[in-house]
Amino acid sequence: MKKKLIFSAAALLAASMLFGFDSAETADSLLQKMNEASKNANGVSMHMDMNIDAGLSISSADSETPSTIGLGLTSGSDIVAKMDPFGMTMDGDINLNMLGQGETIKMQMYMVSDEEGKMDMYLYQENSTSEESGWTHQQQNLGINIKELQEASASIDYSEWGINWVLDPAPADVNGTECYYLSTVIDAETLKTIMSKTEELAGESITGDENVDMVLSMLDGLKLKIEYYIDTTTYLPAKLHMDLNDTDLSALDQYAAMALGEMGEGSEIHIILNDFSVDADTNYGDVADITVPQEALDTDVTDLSEAIPEIAG
């Protein structure tokens, strides 16, 4: 998969995410005001929580009771981003539980870039099980100007990307702040349109690649719900919610069965998804400069171009 295309899409998404009740507002007019306000914000701080409650249900012809393998993951992180010059820091942890075994990974991340598009990422991880810890330093020259991407994200015509936003006629409350409630659902067809538009921006193509086609077929039942709560005074996002809880997993069930091989006649496997959600509270305004710890700066560089393979296309 082309590196520039992947990082363009990721940075564009990150830029767009990090950005009195008027009943005459429309979804389009509100999006325009939100994008303009986000573009002019110099920094943003965010607290983000992720929850995954999933598993596999495996049944066989000779057993009346299916076997269940559970997977639980919770994550909480505090993120600060400064737009010009671009820098971002994250401090959080991931708690993983599978087969009755728990594991906690503490993480710190610093990301900085220059005008030519060179991106440096410093990542610290501390594992509760192995007790291993340390910094890694990854570097990639993307040739992408983050400020220009931020400007581009503020002028997106969402309808051209297949994204249809719905504005609720009634105001919502977020911790005492009156907000507009804006929502949309991304499905597989929308995802294909987004990929096509991203290709146009990056000037590279990945559609038609067999690996990409396989991933898209696995996501045939995708239903990604996105909800924005937008401050009626500042037009800046105050809260974001995303979840995959209405996704049809039947296509993934088929791939899971193939991955596990033949289990015998009458055997079945089903993916269980009780919850897969992300919630974020955001605050916009001036933030402190992003300062990378000296211990991280002293870490040898791992070139991402060696870690991310090219896929012809």
Q: Is residue 75 part of a domain?
A: yes
The rounded distance, in Å, linking the Cα atoms of 21 and 172 is 9
Omega of the bond leading into 85 within 30 degrees of 0 (cis):
yes
The whole-number pLDDT of residue 146 equals 66
User: Given the structure tokens 């297949």, which residue do they identify?
Assistant: 162
Kindly report the number of other CB atoms within 10 A of residue 184's CB atom.
17
Closest CA to 116 of 156, 137, 88, 86: 86
The whole-number pLDDT of residue 203 equals 66
User: Given the structure tokens 């929502």, which residue do they identify?
Assistant: 183
The whole-number pLDDT of residue 244 equals 94
Domain that holds residue 260: 3-307
Q: Is residue 266 part of a domain?
A: yes
pLDDT in tens, the chain (313 residues): 444 454 455 554 444 444 455 666 889 889 888 888 887 888 999 999 999 999 988 877 666 777 888 899 999 999 999 887 788 999 999 999 987 788 999 999 999 987 776 789 999 999 878 778 899 999 877 666 666 666 666 667 788 888 899 999 899 999 999 999 999 999 988 988 888 877 776 666 666 667 777 777 888 889 999 999 999 999 999 999 999 999 998 888 887 777 666 555 667 888 899 999 999 999 998 888 899 999 999 998 875 544 444 433 3
The rounded distance, in Å, linking the Cα atoms of 70 and 67 is 10
The whole-number pLDDT of residue 22 equals 63
Q: Is residue 312 part of a domain?
A: no
Contact 201, 152 (CB under 8 A): yes
Kindly report the number of other CB atoms within 10 A of residue 19's CB atom.
25
User: Given the structure tokens 């974020």, which residue do they identify?
Assistant: 280
> CA dist 258 to 200, 267, 268, Å?
35, 12, 11
The whole-number pLDDT of residue 186 equals 92
Q: Is residue 313 part of a domain?
A: no
The whole-number pLDDT of residue 309 equals 42
Say what angle helices 3-17 and 188-202 make with each other, to 10 degrees: 110
Q: How many structural domains are present in the chain?
A: 1
CA angle 131, 137, 141 (to 5 degrees): 155
The whole-number pLDDT of residue 15 equals 46
The whole-number pLDDT of residue 18 equals 45
The whole-number pLDDT of residue 75 equals 96
Q: Is residue 57 part of a domain?
A: yes
